[in-house]
């Protein structure tokens, strides 16, 4: 095969996979949503997940004690428990045991922990055959492949591939459309192996310290056989699976299947306390970097993970590339975070670039893990500890200087003037950044200059300091100008401090935290004196009210300032939505409806719901829903710079969702997303106009 045709074949595979994952994500979202809603009967999702996080944190605070209690109780029940600190030590123990039992075949239930320590490879080297018995894992193993999802290991395989694979292995033909027959074949095939194996191995979903119980959930029944049939049962589990009590375990059981497969409960929830009569049970508890992770407060919460895979199921980048690229052995957002501790920082370096920082993972995680923040922390670690990125640093550093940025944009505006077509720049060169997203045109005058000439407002009115935001000040000034007019119309005196530039979010998202800190300090200094700070960009609110605390974690002086200023910052939309009655909107309804896109972090981080919709309807504008309102537009984080192809695919998904609304105007609350979507629609030749709510609402002021 030539390289060319291989490239297209890979591309085709990739596209098919994205399509499968898209279907899956959409179906899962509905199922999970329904099942999570049922939890209102028992306290509600937020309470339950907080309970889970608290129990796990509590467990980690007394890890040694809990491990000791678990060990004592399990041994009382007849099990043997060992605690090992590395993958090697775990593998050695298991191999020795298998040799002692003269085991040639080990039947395995699904276990990520054994994947983590690369146990199968080690067993094979020692002349022992590990056999995966979970259907998906079995298929992946037969194909010589790797699992691509925490819960759905073979989601990347098509039924045709499965049929061909089984045909090769079982030497009879299979109809790809007859899935039950293929499943049946696996059953028949594996039964004999179950009967033959002298060692069975499983993971654990939960370890209960109060009783020494191992909890395993499964749907197929293969885990039960691996536990029960062989004369030796080995459990391999990370120490983070520990909880204190059955009540805490049951809380996890309420959350895990709902988050994993959208089921109320799995077919089997097994509570195993010691071996059955006539059996030996060994429980191998592995540390392998976990204690180290627990010492790092910025990452420790990732140890609460229950491996449900929900974070991957809402991740827009994961949908595009799949688990083989998005992760190392542990896939999905959580995979990015834990990989450095189990498999080294280098292993996480490439996949972490794919995170768009939309925060969907954090919002959906049943263990309340701040994944999006942890991934940015990881990005910063990568930047600090691994070489490279000179150009990026240079660019961000120059961007950090207000005068330089202003001058560069000025020059850019003059040079690109001939190519301006409304809000879009029609440059004659195409790059991988612009082929799918036309760049915005650059204005001759930034918003701050245009706003100098407006008439002074009444000094007795309450004062608001406005953070124009770098983008809407210098690239999309109509937004900033409209924002100021709206705030004034609502009865405020607006001040525009001249020393403002950018909150530092681009550098923060890019992992260059030193540069981000400098920009953050400048921004805090500028706005410290205001009681209320409003910005048309919710992304800046995310930065100032949430991320600054993270940036200044080790700097008490600036941490204090950040904590003082953070709560005073509001985004324009929620600021106005809370007082629509004060804004003098025209009473004539606008005939043309719009559809709304909510900036992903507005929902996922700031907890906004229908603020834009409320505000727009207060101004007489009708809103039509889009299909996937909660999915990121693809602009997020630094991904559209570092992995434009991924960003492009996410944007295409968004485009479809927005077009399906059947209207020609999109309103979205973050200026960056406005420019991004404008460019995407333009490059796709779609007749869609994109506005920030401020631009539309300003047109609706009655006294314009």
Partner 1 sequence: MASDTTIMPDDRWRYWVARGDYRQQMTAELASGWMIDGNQYTMRRFFAAAVAAGCEVEYLPVLGIADLELADDAVISSGALGRYPQLAPKAILPRESPLMTFSEGVVAGELGVAETGSVLVVENELSDRLVSMMSEHLTVLLAADVIEDRLDAATAWLSAARPVPTYVVLLTGPSRTADIERSLTIGVQGPSTTRVIIVEEEP
The interface partner of residue 308, options being ligand SF4, partner 1, none and the CB cut-off 5 to 8 Å by kind, is: ligand SF4
Tokens linked to 669: 């609350």
Which partner from the list partner 1, ligand SF4, none does 310 bind, CB cut-off 5 to 8 Å by kind? ligand SF4
Interface residues with partner 1 (CB under 8 A)?
Answer: 20, 23-24, 27, 41-42, 76-77, 133-136, 139, 152-155, 157-159, 162, 179-180, 182-184, 186-187, 190-192, 194-195, 210-211, 213, 219-222, 224-225, 227-229, 245-247, 249-250, 253-254, 261, 264-279
Contact stretch for ligand SF4 (CB under 6 A) within 62-70, 103-111, 123-131, 362-370? 362-370
CB of 360 vs partner 1, minimal distance in Å: 20
User: What secondary structure does DSSP assign to 350-406, as a single string?
Assistant: HHHTT-----HHHHH-TT---HHHHHHHHHHHHHHHS---HHHHHHHHHHHSHHHHH
433 binds, among partner 1, ligand SF4, none (CB under 5 to 8 A by kind): none
Whether the CA torsion 600, 40, 260, 59 is positive or negative: it is positive
> Of the ranges 289-297, 363-371, 625-633, 654-662, which one interacts with ligand SF4 (CB under 6 A)?
363-371
Q: How far is the CB of 103 from partner 1 (least distance, A)?
A: 15
Separation between Cα atoms, residue 540 and residue 534, nearest integer Å: 10
Minimum CB separation of residue 188 from partner 1 in Å reads 9
The DSSP element (H or E) to which 285 belongs, if any, is strand 280-286
Q: Would strands 199-202 and 105-108 be described as parallel, antiparallel, or unpaired?
A: parallel
Least distance CB 94 / ligand SF4 (angstroms): 25
Beta carbon of residue 315, minimum distance to partner 1 (angstroms, whole number):
17
- Buried-state track 347-367, b at ≥16 Cβ within 10 A, e below 16: bbbebbbbbbbbbbbbbbbbb
Parallel, antiparallel, or unpaired for β 213-218 and 268-272?
antiparallel
Residue with smaller CB distance to ligand SF4, 305 or 490 = 305
Residues 6+ apart with CB under 8 A from 121: none
Task: Identify what 221 binds: partner 1, ligand SF4, none; CB under 5 to 8 Å per kind.
Answer: partner 1
Contact between 206 and ligand SF4 (CB under 6 A)?
A: no
| Subset of 131-170 contacting ligand SF4 (CB under 6 A) | 150
338 binds ligand SF4 (CB under 6 A): no
Q: Which residue, 117 or 150, is less far from ligand SF4 as judged by CB? A: 150
The burial of 3, by beta-carbon neighbours within 10 Å (0-12 exposed, 13-18 middle, 19 or more buried), is given as exposed
Query: Closest separation between CB of residue 255 and ligand SF4, Å?
Result: 8
Copy the structure tokens of residue 609. 């719901």
State how far the Cα of 632 lies from the Cα of 647, in Å rounded to an integer: 10
Residue 367 in contact with ligand SF4, rule: CB under 6 A: yes
Instruction: Output 325 or 392, the one with its CB closest to ligand SF4.
Output: 325
Both structure tokens of 256: 């895990």
Q: Which residues, 6 or more positions from 686, have their beta carbon under 8 angstroms from its beta carbon?
A: 655, 659
* Nearest residue (CB) to partner 1, 125 versus 178: 178
Q: Which residue in this structure is represented by tokens 């805090």?
A: 524
Contacts of 509 (CB under 8 A, 6+ apart): 357, 376, 379, 636, 637, 638
User: Using CB atoms within 10 A of its CB, is residue 637 exposed (0-12), middle (13-18) or buried (19+)?
Assistant: buried
Return the one option of ligand SF4, partner 1, none that residue 652 interacts with (CB less than 5 to 8 A, by type).
Answer: none
Q: Using an 8 Å Cβ cutoff, are 291 and 244 in contact?
A: no
Q: Going along 46-108, which residue ranges are E strands?
A: 79-84, 105-108
Select 162 or 347, whichever has its Cβ closest to ligand SF4.
347
Sole binder of ligand SF4 in the list 309, 439, 440, 446 (CB under 6 A): 309
544 binds, among ligand SF4, partner 1, none (CB under 5 to 8 A by kind): none
Among residues 119, 165, 305, 606, which is the contact residue for ligand SF4, using CB under 6 A? 305
Q: Looking at beta carbons only, is 279 or 463 nearer to partner 1?
A: 279
Q: Are 239 and 245 in contact (CB under 8 A)?
A: no
Could you say which of 225, 243, 310, 442 contacts ligand SF4 (CB under 6 A)? 310
Could you say which of 242, 334, 372, 520 contacts ligand SF4 (CB under 6 A)? 334
Angle between helices 246-261 and 45-61 (to 10 degrees): 130
Name which of 651, 639, 636 is nearest 683 in CA terms: 651
Instruction: Select from 123-131, 244-252, 304-312, 694-702 the region that touches ligand SF4 (CB under 6 A).
Output: 304-312
Among 32, 56, 110, 307, binds ligand SF4 (CB under 6 A): 307
Tokens representing 510?
Answer: 């890019």
> Pick from partner 1, ligand SF4, none: which does 305 bind, CB < 5 to 8 A by kind?
ligand SF4
- Show the tokens assigned to 608: 């906004």
Of residues 688, 704, 701, the one with CA closest to residue 423: 688
Q: Does 87 bind ligand SF4 (CB under 6 A)?
A: no
**For ligand SF4, what does the binding mask look like between residues 26 and 65, x meaning CB under 6 A?**
----------------------------------------
Which residue, 312 or 476, is less far from ligand SF4 as judged by CB?
Answer: 312
Q: Point out which span in 361-369, 394-402, 456-464, 641-649 binds ligand SF4 (CB under 6 A).
A: 361-369
Q: Where are the alpha helices (H) located in 296-370, listed in sequence order?
A: 310-313, 316-321, 332-343, 345-352, 360-364
Asked whether position 365 contacts ligand SF4 by CB under 6 A, the answer is yes
Q: Which residues bind ligand SF4 (CB under 6 A)?
A: 150, 259, 305-311, 334, 365-367, 369, 371
């Amino acid at each position: 095969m030539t390289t060319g045709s291989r490239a297209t074949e890979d591309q085709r595979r990739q596209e098919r996979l994205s399509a499968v994952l898209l279907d899956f994500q959409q179906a899962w979202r509905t199922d999970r949503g329904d099942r999570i809603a049922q939890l209102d009967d028992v306290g509600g999702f937020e309470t339950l997940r907080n309970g889970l996080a608290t129990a796990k944190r509590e467990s980690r605070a007394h890890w040694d004690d809990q491990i000791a209690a678990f060990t004592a109780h399990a041994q009382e029940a007849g099990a043997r428990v060992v605690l090992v600190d590395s993958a090697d030590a775990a593998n050695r123990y298991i191999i020795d045991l298998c040799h002692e039992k003269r085991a040639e075949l080990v039947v395995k239930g699904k276990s990520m922990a054994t994947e983590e320590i690369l146990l199968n490879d080690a067993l094979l080297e020692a002349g022992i055959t590990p056999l995966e018995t979970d259907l998906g894992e079995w298929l992946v193993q037969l194909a010589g492949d790797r699992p691509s999802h925490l819960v759905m290991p073979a989601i990347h395989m098509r039924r045709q591939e499965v049929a061909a694979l089984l045909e090769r292995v079982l030497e009879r033909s299979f109809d790809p459309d007859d899935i039950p027959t293929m499943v049946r074949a696996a059953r028949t095939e594996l039964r004999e192996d179950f009967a033959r194996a002298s060692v069975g191995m499983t993971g654990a979903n939960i370890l209960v310290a109060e009783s020494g119980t191992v909890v395993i959930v499964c749907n197929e029944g293969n885990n039960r056989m691996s536990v029960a049939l062989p004369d030796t049962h080995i459990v391999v589990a990370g120490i983070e699976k520990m909880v204190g009590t059955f009540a805490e375990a049951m809380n996890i059981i309420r959350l895990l299947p709902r988050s994993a497969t959208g089921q109320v409960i799995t077919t089997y929830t097994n509570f195993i306390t010691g071996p059955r009569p006539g059996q030996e049970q060994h429980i191998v508890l592995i540390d392998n970097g976990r204690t180290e992770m627990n010492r790092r407060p910025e990452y420790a919460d990732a140890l609460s993970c229950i491996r449900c895979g929900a974070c991957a199921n809402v991740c827009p980048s994961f949908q595009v590339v799949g688990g083989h690229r998005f992760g190392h052995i542990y896939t999905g957002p959580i995979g990015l975070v834990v990989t450095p501790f189990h498999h080294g920082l280098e292993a996480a370096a490439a996949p972490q670039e794919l995170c768009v920082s939309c925060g969907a993972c954090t919002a959906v995680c049943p263990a309340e893990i701040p994944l999006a923040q942890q991934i940015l922390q990881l990005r910063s670690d990568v930047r600090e500890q691994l070489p490279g990125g000179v150009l990026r640093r240079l660019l961000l550093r120059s961007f950090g200087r207000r005068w330089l940025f202003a001058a560069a944009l000025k020059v850019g505006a003059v040079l690109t003037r001939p190519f301006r077509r409304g809000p879009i720049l029609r440059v004659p060169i195409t790059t991988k950044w612009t082929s799918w997203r036309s760049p915005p045109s650059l204005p001759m005058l930034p918003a701050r200059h245009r706003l100098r000439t407006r008439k002074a407002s009444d000094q007795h009115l309450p004062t608001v300091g406005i953070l124009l935001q770098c983008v809407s000040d210098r690239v999309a000034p109509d937004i900033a100008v409209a924002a100021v007019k709206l705030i004034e119309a609502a009865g405020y005196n607006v001040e525009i401090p001249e020393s403002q530039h950018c909150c530092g979010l681009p550098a923060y998202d890019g992992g260059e935290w030193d540069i981000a800190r400098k920009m953050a300090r400048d921004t805090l200094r500028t706005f410290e004196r205001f009681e209320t700070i409003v910005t048309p960009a919710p992304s800046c609110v995310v930065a100032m009210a949430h991320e600054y605390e993270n940036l200044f974690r080790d700097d008490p002086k600036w941490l204090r300032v950040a904590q003082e200023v953070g709560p005073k910052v509001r985004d324009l939309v929620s600021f106005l939505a809370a007082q629509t009655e004060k804004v003098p909107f025209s009473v004539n309804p606008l005939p043309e409806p719009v559809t709304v896109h909510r900036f992903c972090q507005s929902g996922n981080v700031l907890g906004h719901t229908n603020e834009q919709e409320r505000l727009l309807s207060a101004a007489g504008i009708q809103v039509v829903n889009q299909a996937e309102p909660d999915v990121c537009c693809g602009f997020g984080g630094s991904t559209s710079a570092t992995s434009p192809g991924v960003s492009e695919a996410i944007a295409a998904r968004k485009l479809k969702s927005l077009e399906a609304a059947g209207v020609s105007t999109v309103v979205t609350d973050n200026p960056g997303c406005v420019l991004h979507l404008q460019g995407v629609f333009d490059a796709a030749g779609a007749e869609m106009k994109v506005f920030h709510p401020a631009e539309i609402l300003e047109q609706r002021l009655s006294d314009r």
